[in-house]
């Protein structure tokens, strides 16, 4: 799909397939085009070129849209004067969804105690839970969640993680955007990264993290100089990070440990450090960030 706003290419020839039975993380800097893509999938915005199909059809052509795909796109979508329960009852009634499903989604999202209060008085977190309850109302096989953990407390963040993992285990398709990389690393199976409207990466999370340059082994030894000499080779880079500590790149912990043992060098720490999703993400998007903070040097 492609979409312009004025002379701005918000989404620029994006192609992707979101797999069932997995949580797909949708990442990208502010303004990268994530929300626009999600809105186009849900038929709220019309692409200038291309189309999005949900279970093989455009959103507008779905027979029972709410029962096919549920979305959280704007946590403030419910009328502020209505209660959560009444909001859900009205939606259920117009979509031929049985009334008991309203109580189910209220229970599922932990909204029982506030379900009869006005939505206008809800905290951001309660609004997010109501948004997720709304998305789940039709028991859809596909969920599109735009920053569902935004504004949630740690318990709520963990709940979204476990909830979305469960949805994927049930075989549903989950597309989830977030700026919280540590959270995404624990939630997503697969990641699509957008930058300036284009797809920068589309791969399993292990592959994305594995491609980052941050993997190294942290080594601490009272004879760190001798150990450095023992593992020296053109492929190995050793960076001092303290008097007796170095970061070693290009060789694994086992080789370093064996080299130390055969040279009789004591080792006080030998820690393989995996690159994080955050490092991989920052590597991928470094040329695509529009609003960068200048760090004083």
Ligand X SMILES: Nc1ncnc2c1ncn2[C@@H]1O[C@H](COP(=O)(O)OP(=O)(O)OP(=O)(O)O)[C@@H](O)[C@H]1O
Give the count of residues interacting with ligand X (CB under 6 A): 11
- Shortest distance, position 125 Cβ to ligand X, whole Å: 18
**Span interacting with ligand X, options 24-32, 61-69, 80-88, 208-216, rule CB under 6 A:** 24-32
Out of 7, 15, 17, 30, name the contact with ligand X by CB under 6 A: 30
Out of 1, 14, 23, 32, name the contact with ligand X by CB under 6 A: 32
3-state secondary structure of 5: strand
Out of 25, 28, 70, 127, name the contact with ligand X by CB under 6 A: 28
Smaller CB separation from ligand X, 92 or 145: 145
Cα–Cα distance between 115 and 88 in angstroms, integer? 10
DSSP string, 64-123: SHHHHEEEES-TT-S-TTSBHHHHHHHHHHHTT--THHHHHHHHHTT-GGGTTSBGGG--
Phi, psi of 38, deg, nearest 5 = -65, -40
Query: Any contact of residue 10 with ligand X (CB under 6 A)?
Result: yes
**Span interacting with ligand X, options 15-23, 32-40, 201-209, 249-257, rule CB under 6 A:** 32-40
3-state secondary structure of 154: helix
Smaller CB separation from ligand X, 97 or 183: 183
In order of 33, 62, 141, 249, the CA distances from 22 in angstroms are: 22, 22, 12, 33
**Span interacting with ligand X, options 31-39, 153-161, 209-217, 243-251, rule CB under 6 A:** 31-39
- Whether the Cβ atoms of residue 126 and residue 152 lie closer than 8 Å to each other: no
Cα–Cα distance between 130 and 257 in angstroms, integer? 53
Query: Any contact of residue 36 with ligand X (CB under 6 A)?
Result: yes
Give the x/- contact pattern for ligand X in 66-105, rule: CB under 6 A: ----------------------------------------
- Shortest distance, position 283 Cβ to ligand X, whole Å: 18
Query: Any contact of residue 35 with ligand X (CB under 6 A)?
Result: yes
Query: Any contact of residue 33 with ligand X (CB under 6 A)?
Result: yes
Query: Any contact of residue 187 with ligand X (CB under 6 A)?
Result: no
Tokens encoding 20: 């069932």
CA 98 to chain centre: 32
Q: Which residues of 68-92 are buried (b: 16+ CB within 10 A; e: fewer)?
A: bbbbbbebeebeeeebbbbbbbebb
Tell me the angle at which helices 100-108 and 84-94 cross, rounded to the nearest 10 degrees.
130
**Span interacting with ligand X, options 3-11, 90-98, 161-169, 200-208, rule CB under 6 A:** 3-11
Interacting residues toward ligand X by CB under 6 A: 5, 8, 10, 28, 30-36
């Amino acid at each position: 799909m492609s979409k312009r706003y004025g002379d701005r290419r918000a989404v620029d020839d994006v192609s992707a397939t979101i797999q069932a039975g997995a949580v797909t993380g949708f990442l990208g800097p502010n303004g990268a085009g994530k929300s626009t893509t999600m809105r186009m999938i849900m038929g709220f915005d019309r692409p200038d070129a291309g189309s999005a199909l949900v279970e093989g059809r455009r959103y507008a052509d779905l027979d029972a849209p709410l029962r096919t795909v549920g979305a959280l796109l704007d946590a403030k979508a419910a009328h502020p004067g209505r209660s959560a329960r009444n909001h859900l009852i009205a939606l259920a009634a117009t979509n031929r969804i049985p009334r008991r499903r309203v109580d189910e989604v209220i229970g599922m999202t932990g909204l029982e105690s506030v379900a009869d209060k006005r939505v206008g008085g809800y905290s951001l977190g309660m609004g997010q839970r109501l948004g997720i309850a709304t998305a789940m109302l039709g028991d859809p096989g596909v969920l599109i969640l735009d920053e569902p953990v935004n504004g949630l407390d740690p318990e709520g963040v963990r709940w979204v993680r476990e909830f979305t993992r469960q949805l994927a285990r049930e075989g549903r398709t989950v597309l989830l955007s977030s700026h919280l990389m540590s959270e995404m690393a624990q939630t997503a199976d697969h990641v699509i990264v957008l930058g300036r409207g284009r797809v920068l990466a589309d791969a399993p999370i292990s592959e994305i993290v594995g491609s980052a340059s941050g993997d190294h082994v942290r080594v601490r030894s009272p004879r760190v100089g001798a150990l450095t000499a023992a593992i020296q080779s053109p492929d190995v880079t050793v960076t001092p990070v303290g008097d007796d500590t170095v970061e070693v790149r290009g060789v694994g912990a086992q080789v370093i440990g064996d080299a130390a043992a055969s040279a009789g060098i004591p080792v006080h720490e030998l820690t393989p450090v995996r690159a994080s999703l955050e490092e991989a993400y920052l590597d991928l998007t470094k040329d695509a960030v529009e609003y960068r903070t200048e760090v004083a040097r």
